[in-house]
Structure 1
Amino acid sequence: MSNQSFFPPNLYIPVTNLCRRRHLVRAIFAGIFFFLARQVYLSTTTTITTTTTTATETRNSFEPELDTQLVKCYSTVFQNLIHDGFLTLHSKTLTVGIPILEFSAALRESGITDAKYTKKNVWLPFRNHTFDFEFSSHTGLDCSQFPGQFASELSRTLKPDGYLVIHTESKDLYSLNSLLDLFDSFKLIRSREISVPHWSIQHVREIVLKKQGILRRRRSVAGECSVPAYKKKLIQNSEPLIPEEPMKPWVSGKRNLKNMKYLPSMADIRFKTGYVYIDVGARGYGSSIGSWFKKVYPKQDKSFKIFAVEADKRFHDEYKSKKRITLLPYAAWVRNESLFFEINRAPNHYNEEKGKGMGRAQSAQTSTYFMGDLNKVQGFDFADWVKKSFRETDFVVVKMDVDGTEFDLMAKMVETGAICLIDEMFLECHYDPKEKCCDIEMDSKYDNGFKDCLELYSSLREKGVLVHQRW
């Protein structure tokens, strides 16, 4: 049976900071309880001489009480796991998450005595292969700021053939498959919704994994991308491609931008090991990064590592003062080699050093005329850099505006499988329009038409990349 059959239909739930909200609610209730307890204590204590409460009793009166309803809920969970053979009375057990007191009481009620408890959801202070059974509550992996590292720790401390049970409040298929990708040496045994009747738990899916030495099969990065059904569904639910060449591209571009359905607005991206935004042809900071990505793109409270790929030296100084942005002062290309950039200027003035800006890249070996040192830049193999820098478990977003070079770059990324590592792309495809402006004789700047661009967009979506048309 495939993994997909375990999961419910793809439902999108707007992602909010559930962990912070849950902790805030608990803190408020704890504060109210403390205030009421203090008022009762003061009202029953008239004088110091009549107080018979000892220091120990006073301290114990303010210790947190067990939530008996929650203990009962988790006791039922553990007993069901014992009944199904995943947990035994002699299992060396680890539970991760809060509340620890309730977990401890629930395990004791279930007959489990050899157990450890921790609130840490990144690094675990235990030796390799320590536990037979591990349990991560909905406040464990769900709330971890570093789910990839935490998953590695759970795998490290679990014995071979041991069982890992994860409770998650995530529903959509994208996030559930992202969660499974974190545990590549585990076999999925069961995934089901369970009822935990408690006010602090809204929805729980229980996932049972067994640790094995065989890696789970993933999508290929050396050829064709394997596109699962849940990802095809996401792409189908995104905005449709514009099939006809627009008469006014700038107007269609603004309208299309408003209609875009971003991947994080359709799916939960919490179970990714890293979050990356690559702006290829970044120009200035305000061109895309500052004006659009940081203000508009939905990030679900995740911190993205930003790369600005820009060969034009005029923009380099601007990025020196920008924190958390890595400037790659090169031209994205299909090889590591020197390049010349075309300059948008009047015909027959090839030796001018000034122009309207950089245009298409040309290999220095194939350039037919000298364009000056200002226009000579270093190109780097973009597809190779992507493959060496990122993993399938990362969430990678790319914006690309490279003035016609996109056809060369996309062909290389498809050939090498680097395209399989891209989750979402905003691609500006350059073409020669059918309708020429004015009565001025103009040379064809690009070799491709709108139909070629449409085929490029369609082929990328077929390979599992949620690509958007950008003007």
Structure 2
Amino acid sequence: MEPPAAKPNFFSNVLVKVLLFGVLIIIVRFAYIVTITGESCNLGDFCFLPESFNLVIAGTGSGVSTANRAVVSTSAGPTQRDLYTSKDWIKAVHFYSDVFRDLVSDGYLSAISKTMCVETPKGEDVFALKEIGILDSIGIYKKASKPLVISLKESGLPFDENTFDFIFSGGDRLDKTSRRPLDLTVSDIQRTLKPEGFFVAHVSSKDTYSFNSFLDLFNSCKLIKSRDIEGYDSSMPFIREIVLQKKVGSEILSKNYDGKLGNTCSVPGYKRDLVRNAEALITEEPLKPWITLKRNIHNIKYLPAMADISFKSRYVYVDVGARSYGSSIGSWFKKQYPKQNRTFDVYAIEADKAFYEEYRVKKGIKLLPYAAWVRNETLRFEINHDPGKEAKVKERGMGRIQLVKSASSSGSFSGEVNEIEGFDFAEWLKSTVTEKDFVVMKMDVEGTEFDLIPRLFETGAICLIDEIFLECHYNRWQRCCPGQRSSKYEKTYGQCLDLFTSLRDRGVLVHQWW
């Protein structure tokens, strides 16, 4: 009879085989990562990823070594798994790994940096930071994509002031795809960035106007460097990388950053560059100015057609002398002005009461029922009507309101005299918009442009306006009576031309309007 000793030997053999199998798995995994993918074993013991991740696939191509993996949260659903294993996602990780390594070499990043990536729906940049050893990194977006990206709160970034050493915005997201108003995002970035911390942004815009507009947004930061780099996909073949550093308290206090102007200003050089590229002024007086306008409007080089206006806090159109909605707001600005898909706040400044009712039903337009003037005071206006027609409200034409020149003049015309409140237009502009806003103005003020334009320069408000469409009033040839000039205005075409020329010489992008 055999002794019952074989049973323990059987269990011992099974245990040995299991252990050998486990060792074989570890060896195969090690060989796969190190030999096949060319990776260094630097992610946990025996090349196992942290507990919250699973290794899914190896990257392809000749990218940076530590970016040759794609990972997925163990709690992620099928959609996230597809995302994190896609070639585009892996390609982006490769790209950002290269970018961040360069920033580490330049001293803007380190292994102990606390970092945040803003407006990052997929989290490729966050993962790239972790891959190169900057583990204290998080992304933020409207919708969470854990564990890389957390959700953005309605109140803003859920972090205290001076939290991060480094903040990054990639993929042109800051200006092109942000779900929040740009000024709120910028405010959060500057608030949560530590003094002397770095903010790096990738943008596709390369013109000087957009670049300086970007710098104007970050008033608590200073420019460290800017360079052009090659992108990683067709949507951004070339990228401008901008590096900013948050100033310390004394540097910020050394300049007024409230966005308001003093009584003088100088139009910056990058705006002057736009003036040099504008259409030529019409130097010879047109015999039929109403026809010249229709022809010339096709030659106008609008600012948004010459530069990117993305980096602005707000977009504002001011129609000074708006008349009816269809006169210029509805017929021209809404339909023809190139807005680059931006929503504009529209202000209609109109002294004629005949048009007030119409604006009450227009959404998105704020009516200022006053006369634009150089100070706050009550004004008396002549309201003229077309010769030979009854004085009906609907027949009031463009340019039928002008300042009363003297008390005795009221009997020299077949019209009426009204009183209306005038307001200091330049001071209103300074209290309404800032240098961070994009401001377009159309001015048709029946000759008072010769008062208002100097006032804009005197107060410094001219620097707040990016583009002006100005109708200059002079003793033009009359449509009704060939060979006769209008006696309504004293100025000549030469004086109007001087006004346009002086504006452009001082760096203001102004277009002739009729």
Cα separation, 1, equivalents of 2:338 and 2:197: 38
Report the Cα distance in structure 2 between the residues aligned to 1:146 and 1:294, rounded to whole angstroms.
Answer: 22
CA drift of 1:342 comes to: 2.0
For residue 345 of structure 1, report the CA deviation from its aligned partner: 6.6
| Displacement of 1:288 | 0.5
SS in 2 for 1:193: strand
Counterpart CA distance in 1 for 2:131 and 2:76 is 28
Greater gyration radius? 2
* Farther off after superposition, 261-270 or 454-463: 454-463
Counterparts of 1:48-447 in structure 2, within 5 Å, are 63-64=81-82, 65-66=84-85, 67-120=89-142, 123-142=156-175, 143-144=177-178, 145-199=180-234, 201-212=236-247, 213=249, 214-215=251-252, 221-344=261-384, 358-362=400-404, 367-368=407-408, 375-433=418-476, 438=481, 444-447=487-490
**Deviation string, structure 1 residues 63-82 (Cα, Å, up to 9, x no partner):** 23243222121111111111
Counterpart of 1:138 in structure 2: which amino acid? G
Runs of 4+ in 1 over 6 A off after TM superposition: 216-220, 352-355, 434-437, 439-443
| Cα shift at 1:185 | 1.4
Change (3 A) 1:114 1:367: farther
Change (3 A) 1:308 1:418: same
- Describe the SS at the equivalent of 1:301: coil
Task: Write the letter of the residue equivalent to 1:202.
Answer: P
Partners of 1:432 and 1:311 in 2: CA distance:
23
Structure 2: gaps of 5 or more residues = 1-73, 143-151
Post-superposition Cα deviations, 1:364-385, rounded to whole Å, max 9, x if no partner, equal xx64456898611111111110
Q: Is this contact kept in 1: 2:287–2:477, CA < 8 A?
A: no
CA contact (8 A) 1:308 1:325 kept: yes
Deviation digits for residues 231-280 of structure 1 (CA, Å, limit 9, x no counterpart): 22211111111111112211211111111111011110011011011111
Structure 1 residue 447: Cα displacement: 2.2
Q: Distance in 2 between matches of 1:81 and 1:242?
A: 51
Is the CA contact (8 Å cut-off) linking 1:220 and 1:226 kept in structure 2?
no
Instruction: Quickly say closer, same or farther: Cα 1:58–1:430, change in 2 above 3 A.
Output: closer
Alignment-derived partner of residue 6 in structure 2: none
Looking at structure 2, the residues matched to 412 and 281 of structure 1 have their Cα atoms a distance apart, in angstroms, of 17
Distance 2:121 2:486 in 1: 70
Deviation at 1:459, TM superposition (A): 1.5
Considering Cα pairs closer than 8 Å and 6+ residues apart, tell me whether 1 or 2 has the greater RCO. 1
Give the corresponding residue for 1:20: none
**Conserved 8 A contact 1:97-1:138:** no
CA contact (8 A) 2:353 2:369 kept: yes
- The verdict on how the C-alpha distance between 1:79 and 1:320 changes in structure 2, with shifts beyond 3 A counting, is same
2:480 & 2:76 partners in 1: Cα distance?
A: 86
> Unaligned stretches of 5+ in structure 1?
1-55
1:114 aligned partner, one-letter code: D
Report the AA paired with residue 396 of structure 1.
Answer: V
How far 1:117 moved relative to its partner?
Answer: 1.1
Counterpart contact for 1:272–1:395, Cα < 8 Å = yes
Q: Contact between 2:351 and 2:371, CA under 8 Å: does it hold in 1?
A: yes
State the identity as a percent. Answer: 52
Change (3 A) 1:442 1:203: closer
CA contact (8 A) 2:426 2:456 kept: yes
1:435, distance to aligned residue in structure 2 (A): 8.4
Conservation of the 8 A alpha-carbon contact between 1:420 and 1:463: no
1:338-387 Cα deviation digits (max 9, x unpaired): 1111233799xxxx999966322248xx6445689861111111111001
Which structure 2 residues correspond to residues 12-23 of structure 1 after superposition, within 5 A?
Answer: none
Using the size of structure 1 for normalisation, the TM-score is 0.80
Distance in 1 between the 2:368 and 2:75 partners? 64
Query: Offset of 1:442 from its aligned partner?
Result: 7.4
Q: Distance in 2 between matches of 1:170 and 1:441?
A: 51
> Hey, what's the Cα distance between the residues in 1 that align with 2:330 and 2:371?
21
Please tell me whether the aligned partners of residues 478 and 486 of structure 2 are also in contact (alpha carbons under 8 angstroms). Answer: no
Partners of 1:252 and 1:60 lie apart in 2 by: 62
TM-align CA RMSD? 3.0
Using the size of structure 2 for normalisation, the TM-score is 0.73
One-letter amino acid matched to 2:450: F
- What per-residue deviation string (whole Å, max 9, x for no partner) do you get for residues 104-161 of structure 1? 3211221101112112489322111100111111243122252222111100000111
